Amino acid sequence: MLRRALTGTLVLFIIAGTGSVGYTIDNDTEGTDKNSTKIEIKNQESSMEVVFPEDDFITSQETVLLSGRAEKGTTIMVEVYSVKELEETEIETHTLEVEELGIFNKSINLKKGTNKIVIKAKKEDTVVHSVTKKVIVADEEKAKEYLNKSEDINILNKLKKQISGDNSESKDIDEENNESKIIKEDNILNENIKEDNTESGEIKESDKLTE
Amino acid sequence: MTNDRLKTAVLVTLFALSVLLAQRLLVDIPFNIMPSFGQLNDTPKQEYDYFLSDIISPERFLVTYGINNHRILYGNNTHNLWTDSKVVLKKIFNKENSDIELIEKKEYIQYKNKRSIVLQFKEQIPSQVISKMLGIYTPSSIHNQIGYVEDIYIRLGSKGLFIFTDGEKYLKVENPEISIESIAKTIKDIENNSEEEYVTYYPGRTMFGAQEDVYAPAPNSMVNTLPDVYAKSGVIGKKDKEMESMIENFFDKDIDYIRKVVENNGSVIYMYDPQGLVISPNGVLEYFNEIEEPVLERDLYESLTTAVDFIKENNRWPTGAYLTDIEKIESKGNKGYRFNITYRVNNKPVVLNKNSMENLKGLKAPIEIEVYNEYVKNYKEYLRDEDIGIYRSSIYKTQKAKVPEDVIRENIDLIKYIYAKETGVTEKEVEILEILSSIKKISLAYYDPCERTKGQIMPGVWIIKIGETEYIFDIQTGDVVNKENLM
């Protein structure tokens, strides 16, 4: 009886610790479009679309392309933060003007570890749309570790589903877009894009890897 | 008695052998009974192939480090990438135990997101010519599956994975026995190099929604590494001695035997029947000769080696020359090829002003040669030497270069107007995102306006094909310096 209780507690502990972790892999994923999850709070209809990076993008480079579409005349404000142990340090900010082409592209500098990119679309001094993306900069070997760990997480998620059945948290999760969607759900449920509320599990993971 | 005869026979044999061997050292016997050491070593052929592999070389190398993280390296052998690639390709053409399968374009694009290098040729090259250039003369299973090659993909993973494509067929060849360590190391070194020329390129699919596989840097990310160069004619203004030597080379005769005619328009004609050489006042050089025997069957490899040999013998090789176009031609029942060859300045290809084609006797590229197997019928060139080392702006290296997004934005009205005409709609109906999605080509080059024989500015340019029109934009000013409808 005691052994069962202990095993049960252990399984629950693992599930609780990994339930909100999501991964996308840079070099060895099979395509770019399958993990097109975005943490987006749409205040107005499609005033801005961020094409890249996808959320939870992992790269070994300390620069990443920020690419998107917006209406001519929109001002795009970009804030880049390095996130370490729940503290955010601003790395850089950019202001981009969307001109005739209706696109914006900017090479963004990042720091090792977790980075948060906040992209705001502004029209007539009013922020009309805001999107937050998380990008993790890991060296190559660590990116490979992520890949291996993400496979483990897949197994754990399957286990979690088997144990808890079709629980409320995973009801709306598209099975094809597994872990990343969990983050999206969490964020939407909480109506909060702050990383310290929703992504602590992942920050811990990345901190472990960058140690 | 028998012994004496035997001894005599041995002596006679030894004597004959010694005479034959001595001719290699001392006497020039006019008939070849035995091949010379030179022929056995095949030295001239090796030299031949060296030059051939120079002109059949990739225009550029697309290096991929991961999703949306690419670099494009220009130059025929930058970082020895072509030399290293040739070693690997020779192995893959030689191995018969490779796994070969045709794959879909979609799968190929997915592979292009992985750490890899793609050798991008300007023109589709017959796969047999590539292997012959590498010294492989027996057809392999790769040749049977793909006749022409435009791109060669090399995966920088642990096992040897290659994809040969002509743009329509994608042939995946796998052989874990083939090591690509040397190339992988070079690519790693380039990744760690933060010098200005190593600009990160991103897929046009992400940046513009382009449907084709094109790459461009992000705005403000590119320092101008393409300073304007001043050029002068490679022929006009040469010293008399140099000219004489050049003409003697073409005719393989002393200048005294060659007839010279100066025409009213300033052209100078040199004749030694049936050969002729014309030097136009704008710097176009044209040589012509007759085909001695009918050529009823064309041989690409033979024609190509004849062309290379001809240009080499006449010392007409510009730096970084490479093949840009192959065209089948016929003349009075004879079958041959027309080869276009260009050269590089600062590792970038040189393109000619296409509006000047008429003045340049129809030249599409700096060198054009018509060959019928072993016969060169026509050779034309418009080559340049660097004039003086001055630049339009001495601060070019600190300036940011304009990137494709900048030059398209600055010229969007013109582009919109032309796109509307091409698609048969009004300008108001044209969506800019539709224009951007029709970007088909983005590349860097130097542009020769072909207007002056000296002091000619050759600007660095972006060549961008949108819809059916190819635009040439000045990389510094963003101006359209040329455009051509390719329909």
B42 part of a folded domain: no
Which CATH number is A45's domain given?
A: 2.60.40.10
On whether the CB atoms of residues B284 and B268 are closer than 8 A, the answer is no
Indicate whether A136 pLDDT > 60: yes
B84 part of a folded domain: yes
Predicted complex: ipTM over 0.90: no
Per CB-CB distance under 8 Å, the chain A contacts of B402 are none
Regarding whether B15 and B122 lie in a shared domain, the answer is: no
Regarding whether B361 and B323 lie in a shared domain, the answer is: yes
Contact flag A32-B405 (C-beta cutoff 8 Å)? no
Which CATH number is B473's domain given?
A: 3.10.450
Domain span holding position A8: 1-211
Regarding whether B376 and B351 lie in a shared domain, the answer is: yes
Mutation pick from A26, A49, A54 vs chain B, by most beta carbons of B within 10 Å, is A26
| Enclosing H/E stretch for B101 | strand B99-103
**A27 in B contact zone (CB under 8 Å):** yes
- Answer with the residue of higher pLDDT: A208 or B461: B461
Nearest CA in chain A to B221: A107
Regarding whether B357 and B285 lie in a shared domain, the answer is: yes
Contact flag B67-A32 (C-beta cutoff 8 Å)? yes
**Structural domain ending residue among the three candidates B345, B363, B382:** B382
Assigned token pair, B467: 């819809």
- DSSP assignment of A99-168 equals -TT-EEEEEEE--SEEEEEEEEEEETTEEEEEEEEEEEE--HHHHHHHHHHHHHHHHHHHHHHHHH-S-G
Smallest CA–CA distance, residue A39 to chain B, in Å, is 19
B179 part of a folded domain: yes
**Structural domain ending residue among the three candidates B335, B365, B382:** B382
- Total number of domains in chain A: 1
Which CATH number is B347's domain given?
A: 3.30.310.160
CA distance linking residue B308 with residue B323, whole number of Å = 10
Contact flag B409-A100 (C-beta cutoff 8 Å)? yes
Regarding whether B254 and B141 lie in a shared domain, the answer is: no
Regarding whether B282 and B316 lie in a shared domain, the answer is: yes
Among all chains, which residue has been given the structure tokens 């914006």?
A: A104
Per-position pLDDT tens, chain B of length 487: 567 888 888 888 888 888 767 655 444 433 333 333 333 333 444 445 557 888 899 999 999 988 888 999 998 778 889 999 999 999 998 887 889 999 999 999 989 989 999 999 998 999 988 988 888 888 788 888 999 999 999 999 767 899 999 999 999 999 988 988 889 988 888 887 756 457 889 999 999 999 999 999 999 888 777 888 888 998 998 888 999 999 999 999 999 999 999 999 999 999 998 999 999 999 999 999 999 999 999 999 999 999 999 998 998 888 889 999 999 999 999 999 999 999 999 889 999 998 888 888 889 999 999 999 999 999 999 999 887 655 544 445 556 789 999 999 999 999 999 999 999 998 888 999 999 999 999 999 999 999 999 889 999 999 999 999 999 999 989 999 999 987 7
- Total number of domains in chain B: 4
Contact flag A65-B412 (C-beta cutoff 8 Å)? no
- The two beta strands, B334-342 and B344-345, are unpaired
Per CB-CB distance under 8 Å, the chain B contacts of A106 are 218-220
CA distance linking residue B378 with residue B388, whole number of Å = 32
Smallest CA–CA distance, residue A99 to chain B, in Å, is 8
Which CATH number is B134's domain given?
A: 2.60.40
| Enclosing H/E stretch for B350 | strand B348-352
**A64 in B contact zone (CB under 8 Å):** yes
Mutation pick from A23, A27, A63 vs chain B, by most beta carbons of B within 10 Å, is A27
Regarding whether B307 and B255 lie in a shared domain, the answer is: yes
Q: Is A84 exposed, middle or buried (0-12, 13-18, 19+ CB in 10 A)?
A: middle
Residue B424, Cβ neighbours under 10 Å: how many? 7
B218 part of a folded domain: no
**Structural domain ending residue among the three candidates B382, B415, B442:** B382
Query: Edge-to-edge strands of the sheet including B268-272?
Result: B259-262, B268-272, B275-279, B285-288, B375-381, B367-372, B334-342, B322-331
Regarding whether B320 and B395 lie in a shared domain, the answer is: no
Regarding whether B67 and B112 lie in a shared domain, the answer is: yes
Number of H helices, E strands in chain B: 14, 26
Regarding whether B89 and B18 lie in a shared domain, the answer is: no
Regarding whether B93 and B21 lie in a shared domain, the answer is: no
Nearest CA in chain B to A59: B66
Regarding whether B249 and B143 lie in a shared domain, the answer is: no
**A41 in B contact zone (CB under 8 Å):** no
Domain span holding position B436: 390-485
Contact flag B218-A26 (C-beta cutoff 8 Å)? no
Of B334, B278, B280, B336, the residue nearest B307 (C-alpha): B336
| Nearest CB to A99 within list B68, B110, B409 | B409
A94-132 pLDDT, tens per residue?
999 999 999 999 999 999 999 999 999 999 889 999 999
